[in-house]
Amino acid sequence: MNNSISKKLSVKDFLGTASDYYQLTKPGITFTVVASMLIGFLMGSAGSVNFITMIHAIFGTYLIAAGTAAHNMFMERDLDGIMRRTSQRPLPAYRIEPQKSLIFSMSLIIAGLAYLLLLVNLVAGLVSLSTTIIYLYAYTPLKRISALNVFVGAIPGALPVVGGWAASTGTIFEHGMWILFGIIYCWQIPHVMAIAWVCKDDYEHAGFKMLPKNDPYGWKASLWILIPLIILIPTVYKLYVMDLVNWLYLSGSLITTAAYLYYGIRFTISRDRSTAKALMFSSFVYLPLIWIFIFADWMIL
């Protein structure tokens, strides 16, 4: 009986540790990165998909994205411990030792980069490496220096779609790919602004220089929420003009973008936590819907 209890405890401990390491990879963000890469791959393939290369691109992107997210947690472990919403993450809660998390994250980054370079192509690997470098060594430290981090952080947030296109074509010099980049970039700024507003007390307590800290009445935030939302309308339309998508995407994306803009306008009028939260939740829905419309349209074509 004692051996049975011991085995049950060891299995439970193993599963708990595995779960903690999985949390280090920020699964929500990592799968968003992979989804964005996949959309770029499919769009770049122009109806002729190399499924073997696609599978390699998915796996390599997952590895390097997971490693990047885990390394970000390693770099910000002390700050995460200060904020209420992140204090129970594996590192600040002392469930994983920092040195082990460092080895884990770097192993994933190196493995993912090597995988993309060897089994996809050089350009896709370099785009992923650029994404990791900008995210970890430009955006992450900038969060403690300037509110401009929002605009810098949107770059690695939008680059996975470029990596996907590069994985399928071997180039980053095609106009349609940068339109996709623009859609994600413009989506991300209101998304981050809304989160920063909802969590502004937490961010201020940890010393993050998010915009609400120097914008108590929300005028600057409103400006930087509305501008990208307005730019989104012609940007999503541009894919249709370029004949990369069909009517299904066009109708769905315009309606979805108009709804996203509506929540941005609501925040601009009220500039309070409830409208910021509504904008935040609308941003969670927006990008997956755009990808669904593109994928459904691609299936029809």
Q: 146: closest CA among 192, 208, 197, 196?
A: 208
Tokens of 232: 């989104």
Q: Is the pLDDT of residue 219 over 70?
A: yes
Q: Is the pLDDT of residue 2 over 80?
A: no
Confidence at residue 213, expressed as pLDDT on a 0 to 100 scale: 65
Reported as a pLDDT band with limits 50, 70 and 90, residue 4 is low
Q: Is the pLDDT of residue 7 over 80?
A: no
pLDDT winner (highest mean) among 132-136, 199-203, 218-222: 132-136
Mean predicted confidence (pLDDT) in 242-255: 94
Higher local confidence (pLDDT), 10 or 50: 50
Q: Is the pLDDT of residue 68 over 70?
A: yes
**pTM reported for the whole predicted model:** 0.94
Reported as a pLDDT band with limits 50, 70 and 90, residue 209 is confident
Q: Is the pLDDT of residue 89 over 80?
A: yes
Residues 253-299 pLDDT 10s: 999 999 999 999 999 999 999 999 999 999 999 999 999 999 998 88
Higher local confidence (pLDDT), 3 or 144: 144
Report how far residue 79's alpha carbon sits from residue 97's, in angstroms, rounded to the nearest whole number.
16
Q: 292: closest CA among 254, 235, 238, 248?
A: 248
Please answer whether residues 127 and 112 qualify as being in contact, where contact means their C-beta atoms are separated by less than 8 angstroms: no
DSSP state of 272: S
Domain boundaries, the chain: 13-172, 174-301
Q: Is the pLDDT of residue 47 over 80?
A: no
What mean pLDDT is reported for the chain?
93
CATH number assigned to the domain covering 13-172: 1.10.357.140
The distance between the two most distant Cα atoms of the chain, rounded to a whole number of Å, is 70
